[in-house]
Amino acid sequence: MHPTTTPLETATALLAQLEQRREPSYARFMALRTKVSSRPESVLGIRMKWLRQASKQLGRLLTLDEAIDLLHPRACVWYEYKILLGGVLGRLATAGEGTPLLYPLCDGWAVPDYYKEILALWARQGNAELQIVLRSLAEHAHDANPYARRLTVVAWLDLLRYDLVTPTTALQHIIPLQHDEAYYVQMAMAWLLAEMTLTGESSLVEAISTTITDSTVLRMYQQKLRDSRRTATRHTP
């Protein structure tokens, strides 16, 4: 008679199966062409659809403490485990429990761009959780880690999409950050400014034109705006 398998053992077996989905050619593409991580050697080459699927399964199998114990050490090393842990935290943790874990794990552009979804998920759960998320953005706006700073910018994209904040509040966040010299932070600001401009709100467009003065961010913003408008034109019937 075989002993009963525990949920933790099942989760560990699931991770072993997940790692069998590693694709070396995809890892090279993601690391060297797409540059999802600042450490190419950290990319295993597991596709996002499998990571999202696994995060759902792990969220059903594990407690929060078990998930952190099992995944966090791996997330400190591997890009895909950063994504996996973020997805599981979004299912098991509160904003207060999860935000301190996310920011230190930010690396490259892809991790913060995924974590913005997790922050928005928490923020949508009520005003108390929203306030925790907003405080975390303010606290990490000048983080030593540039990718954590990127998260504090791109997070506004989803917060705005769900009407949880106003564009003016988002603009006030990035005005003091506009002279940041990190490329991925600058690109994040350009992306956010372009998305806000595309809403067509004249007062907001005027506010951007008078408060954003950094030449590099302005150049990136104008380019992003042109690219976005071209994309929209191509998709207009």
Over the stretch 6-64, which tens digit does the pLDDT of each residue have? 999 999 999 999 999 999 999 999 999 999 999 999 999 999 999 999 999 999 999 99
Please tell me the predicted confidence (pLDDT) of residue 11.
97
Any idea which residue has 């890892």 for tokens?
Answer: 27
Q: Which two tokens stand for residue 235?
A: 């998709």
Instruction: State the average pLDDT for the chain.
Output: 94
How far, in Å, CA of 153 to CA of 159, rounded?
A: 11
Q: Which pLDDT band holds residue 215 (cuts at 50, 70, 90)?
A: very high
180: Cβ contacts below 8 Å, ≥ 6 apart: 146, 149, 186, 189
pLDDT at 178 over 50: yes
Q: Which pLDDT band holds residue 235 (cuts at 50, 70, 90)?
A: very low
How far, in Å, CA of 59 to CA of 194, rounded?
A: 35
Question: Percent of the chain scored above 90 by pLDDT?
Answer: 91
pLDDT, tens digit (0-9, with 9 covering 90-100), for 69-120 = 999 999 999 999 999 999 999 999 999 999 999 999 999 999 999 999 999 9
* CA 21 to each of CA 14, 47, 51, 125, 162: distance values in angstroms, whole numbers, following the listed order: 11, 8, 10, 34, 34
Please tell me the predicted confidence (pLDDT) of residue 200.
79
126: Cβ contacts below 8 Å, ≥ 6 apart: none
Q: Which pLDDT band holds residue 206 (cuts at 50, 70, 90)?
A: very high
Please tell me the predicted confidence (pLDDT) of residue 212.
97
Please tell me the predicted confidence (pLDDT) of residue 1.
39
pLDDT at 231 over 90: no
pLDDT at 68 over 90: yes
Please tell me the predicted confidence (pLDDT) of residue 229.
74
